[in-house]
A and B are shown apart, each in its own frame.
Chain A
Amino acid sequence: MIILENVSKVFTVKSKEVKAVNDANIHVKKGEIHGVIGYSGAGKSTLIRCVNLLERPTSGKIVINGEEITALSPNKLGATRQKIGMIFQGFNLLKTATVYDNIAIPLKLLGVNKEEVKVRTNKYLAIVGLQDKHHHYPSQLSVGQKQRVAIARALAQEPEILLSDEATSALDPETTDSILDLLLKINEEFGITILLITHEMNVIQKICDYVYVLEGGSIVEQGTTIGLFTNPSHQTTKKFLNTISQRNLSATLISQLNLSGSVIRLTFTGLVTGKPLLAEVSQKFNVKPNILAANIIELKNGVIGNLVVHIIGEKSDVESTLCFLQEQGVGTEELRDEN
């Protein structure tokens, strides 16, 4: 559906070359939602703007629906772009046009006939829940409503792909949630493939099937959302995970606790166990587990439980405890004081 092959983008700023995107490979299958997460300046915006050639990559190939758009003539590119909807952090609506016109004008310009323009505009405004705001101007709407208008505008082109450039970054948490729900609904009901960029881990958590972590223009880690949440390897990924659940304890606390045992993080995927594992452990081995922290993360495709436990006991006992837990399908990770 969307394939980026070795895409790089180099900007020349004051005769210095800056690599905004470095050899990125992305493959989004039809109907999936993929997310690119990274800090500001990581190159996410440049990356997503390369997908519809708002930014022309310096090298690499972009293939949309089997069509290599990096090789298209400007005329044909226009036709392909119509199949790619895009929403932005700043909404980018016409300030001087009503909500209705904001959706109808682009359709008219794309040559959709009058009747169809009416039908589609009404339909998609109803889908985003703004059927009673036809005659309002953007300045009379809340930010969440503005983003809904922008989404309706994108949907009205009836695209197969939706690109989201930090669409929720200007919204408060509650509005963010409602917009994410809307994106999920669009994805499920219309089968629209979504590629989004964000700096918010909760966006990934809530709607993404697959994640790319971008740093300094390069994809440093990627994987299914569940995979990445249960078993992150790159430092940046871990930092992002910390933003939604406290994963790290301070070094002083850990070194203190290590005197009498080990600090272990246990990860349960998909609520695997109905068994009282910790109780079992304390009977089976000569250890006493003490729960320091616990949380549960609901992802789009599953649930992950995290438990940070201080296991008090001899090193050998702790080790056999960990072996036992791993056999039961629980992820274990020893927290050390160096991180």
Chain B
Amino acid sequence: MSEFIEKWLPQFQQATVETFQMVGISLLFSIIIGIPLGILLVLSRPGQALDNKWLNHLLNLVVNIVRSVPFIILLFFILPFTKLIVGTTIGVQGVIVPLVIYTSPYIARLMETALLEVENGVVEAYTAMGIKTRHIIWNVMLREARPSIILGLTIATVSLVGATAMAGLVGAGGLGDLAYRYGHLRYEVDVMYVTIFILIILVQSIQSLGNRLATRLKKD
């Protein structure tokens, strides 16, 4: 047992850190892109503040196209683009770009759903008071949707953890890569079990944290 720990601990530590890095950084960028995109998806709908059929169609098309491509394909498909943005196609840096591109439209869809749950009546009440649209987006729509937004981001984070497992293919490391290389390719079953256990704990914690935060924000 202690032998196992001694042998593998540094590897697990490094893999966990890499996973956290990949998830953390790409989540941050995906939120920065995904939330405004989600807001735009809602606002460009017919009858909303920025009612624009073409913009709405275009956004939906883009989101759907990106969402249709499996991550493993996306990873290779956009290699030139990745190179252009971060200057490399390997390592943690190399995988952040495809992860962001993969997750942003997903977050945008989740945000769209969350924002659509907000009663249109409240938005209307604020419009009737003469309050500006940008204030309404921030203080009514995003505020009221907070619990659903948190739950949506929780789902996105968990799926991001899953996607990072494929990062090994471009040498970015991470827990998934560890399980695949040692556990699967080299038949070190113990390593696989431990990795899965760590991933279970990770996903559980993310979900519980999300649920608790959402419950605290929900007042009805």
State the A residues within 8 Å of B (CB).
52, 54, 77-82, 84-86, 88, 90, 92-97, 105-106, 109-110, 137-139, 150, 153, 157, 163
Contact = CB atoms under 8 A, between A and B. Distances in A.
B174 to A, nearest CB: 36
B87 to A, nearest CB: 43
A110 B122 contact: no
A139 to B, nearest CB: 4
Given A94-B140, A96-B144, A96-B146, A139 B219 contact: yes
B130 A95 contact: no
B121 A92 contact: yes
A110 B220 contact: no
A87 to B, nearest CB: 9
B185 interface: no
A88 B130 contact: no
Interface stretch (B67-75, B92-100, B131-139): B131-139
19 contacts: A52-B128, A54-B127, A54-B128, A77-B130, A78-B131, A80-B130, A81-B127, A92-B119, A92-B122, A92-B124, A93-B122, A94-B122, A94-B140, A96-B143, A96-B147, A105-B139, A137-B219, A139-B220, A150-B125
Given A96-B219, A109-B135, A139-B219, A82 B129 contact: yes
Contacts of A153: 125
Q: Which 7 A-B pairs have the closest CB atoms?
A: A81-B130, A92-B125, A139-B220, A92-B121, A78-B130, A82-B130, A137-B219
A109 B137 CA distance: 12
B219 A90 contact: no
Interface in B11-46: none
Interface in B147-170: 147
A95 B130 CA distance: 20
Contact of A86 (B125, B132, B217, B219): B125
B119 A90 contact: yes
Given A95-B220, A96-B219, A79 B130 contact: yes
Given A82-B130, A137-B220, 20 more contacts: A54-B128, A77-B130, A78-B130, A78-B131, A79-B130, A84-B128, A92-B119, A92-B125, A94-B122, A95-B144, A95-B219, A95-B220, A96-B144, A96-B146, A96-B219, A106-B131, A109-B135, A109-B139, A110-B131, A157-B129
Interface in B200-220: 217-220
Contacts of B135: 109
A82 B135 CA distance: 15
A190 B152 CA distance: 46
Interface of B: 119, 121-122, 124-132, 135, 139-140, 143-144, 146-147, 217-220
A110 B139 CA distance: 12
Contacts of B144: 94-96
A72 to B, nearest CB: 11
B129 A90 contact: no
B56 to A, nearest CB: 19
Contacts of A77: 130
A78 B133 CA distance: 10
A109 B125 contact: no
Task: Name the residue among B124, B147, B218 with the largest chain A CB count within 10 angstroms.
Answer: B124
A110 B129 contact: yes
Given A95-B219, A96-B146, A139-B220, A109 B131 contact: yes
Nearest to B217: A96
Contacts of A105: 139
Contacts of B140: 94
A86 B143 contact: no
A138 B219 CA distance: 8
B128 to A, nearest CB: 4
Nearest to B127: A54
A34 to B, nearest CB: 18
